[in-house]
Amino acid sequence: MRAFLTEAFDSPAKVQELPKPIPDKGEARIRIKACALNFADLLMQKGTYQDTPALPFVGGLEIAGIVDDLGPDTDGPTIGARVAAFGGKGGFAEFGCIDANRMVILPDDMSFEDAAAFQVAYGTSHVALNYRAQMQPGETLLVLGAAGGVGLTAIEVGKLMGARVIACARGAEKLEIAGQAGADHLIDSDTQDIRAEVLALGGTDVVYDPIGGDQWKAAFRACNPDARLIPIGFAGGEVPQIPANHVMVKNLTILGVYWGAYLKFKPQVVTDSMRTLFDWYSDGKLKPHISHRFPLEDTAEALATLKARKSTGKVVVTMD
């Protein structure tokens, strides 16, 4: 099979011919049709992601495809089933073996590209806003990095939960996409003062932040009393330090969310969330925004596009 193999950190990976993997007990082999990129894929290439596999490895966290084979004594989706899974690695390849318990059966009307782009982005936003922040209808949600892979899903999920959404992104083009996703108010992080703009709109009750750095600081200062702040990631490069005295005085709550961890210690949270999200998809309420598609041979270019922040929504690599 063809696979995009990383043999050294901070060194160019490339597509190579590798043996087709054989599923172990409890695993299913998937003929991969699509793999969506995440910021974590960039960190893996540098060796700085918290779950970076040992070298050499095939990256790619979330995939969709067709069950091709089952390991010994494995109860799982039947051969030929259309599935999606968060494997944590192995997605940049034509075949991959994944724990059968992690697989979800796709709705009949969901394409493989949509399915690959769906899980982490929508799952993160729904678990963050519903399970962790317990956001209520009528509350104000501030979404930073609002035109990115998770940012757009936070707008959509927030609106479906009844929130008033303030979207913050860089430049008119990205703000237009955030507006199309349903945001009520738009803030250009390149030219406007985030704190001042949010306060002028009455402050925020929930902050959804995949950026960190100065944008976190501005959002922190624009919170209403009893607000909840959700750090999702640090695409801006700086992990902010949180002043505990301000958290205390304003009765703020900081809620960390790492979606993948729930698959290990509380998988029912993910299962329940995915059931709701797939229902919304089938009802036409959600549609992944995929700005770039690349064939497997161009995986390096796909990663470069994500790194340069040229994408909006998701970037997907396809195998056919």
DSSP result, 63-95? EEEEEEEE-TT---SPTT-EEEEE-SS--SBSE
Which part of the chain has CATH 3.90.180.10? 2-118+289-318
Euclidean distance between CA atoms 198 and 205, whole angstroms: 11
Q: What is the structure's pLDDT at 147?
A: 92
Euclidean distance between CA atoms 88 and 76, whole angstroms: 19
- Region 281-309 average pLDDT: 95
β-sheet with 2-6: strand ranges across: 14-17, 2-6, 57-58
Euclidean distance between CA atoms 243 and 160, whole angstroms: 32
φ and ψ of 280, to 5 deg: -65, -40
Q: How confident is the model at residue 170 (pLDDT cuts 50, 70, 90)?
A: very high
* Average confidence score pLDDT of the chain: 95
**Choices 3.30.70.1450, 3.40.50.720, 2.30.130.10, 3.40.640.10: CATH for 134-254:** 3.40.50.720
pLDDT at 319 over 90: yes
Q: What is the structure's pLDDT at 178?
A: 96
H helices of the chain, where? 39-46, 112-126, 149-160, 172-180, 194-200, 213-220, 244-249, 259-265, 267-282, 299-307
Q: What is the structure's pLDDT at 36?
A: 97
Which residues pair with residue 231 across a beta bridge? 209
Q: What is the structure's pLDDT at 67?
A: 98
Please report where in the chains the tokens 């700086």 appear, as a residue.
238
pTM of the model: 0.85
Q: What is the structure's pLDDT at 102?
A: 85
Q: What is the structure's pLDDT at 138?
A: 98
Q: How confident is the model at residue 231 (pLDDT cuts 50, 70, 90)?
A: very high
φ and ψ of 144, to 5 deg: -90, 155
Euclidean distance between CA atoms 203 and 102, whole angstroms: 39
User: Are the C-beta atoms of residues 203 and 139 closer than 8 Å to each other?
Assistant: no
Euclidean distance between CA atoms 287 and 238, whole angstroms: 31
Q: What is the structure's pLDDT at 312?
A: 86
* N-terminal to C-terminal alpha carbon distance within the chain: 12
Which part of the chain has CATH 3.40.50.720? 134-254
Task: Give per-residue pLDDT as tens, 62-111.
Answer: 999 999 999 999 988 999 999 999 988 999 999 999 999 888 899 999 99
User: Are the C-beta atoms of residues 34 and 116 closer than 8 Å to each other?
Assistant: yes
β-sheet with 185-188: strand ranges across: 185-188, 164-169, 140-143, 204-209, 223-231, 253-254
Find the radius of gyration of the CA atoms of the chain: 20
Q: Which fold has domain 2-118+289-318?
A: Quinone Oxidoreductase; Chain A, domain 1 (3.90.180)
Euclidean distance between CA atoms 204 and 219, whole angstroms: 8
Euclidean distance between CA atoms 195 and 22, whole angstroms: 53
pLDDT at 163 over 90: yes
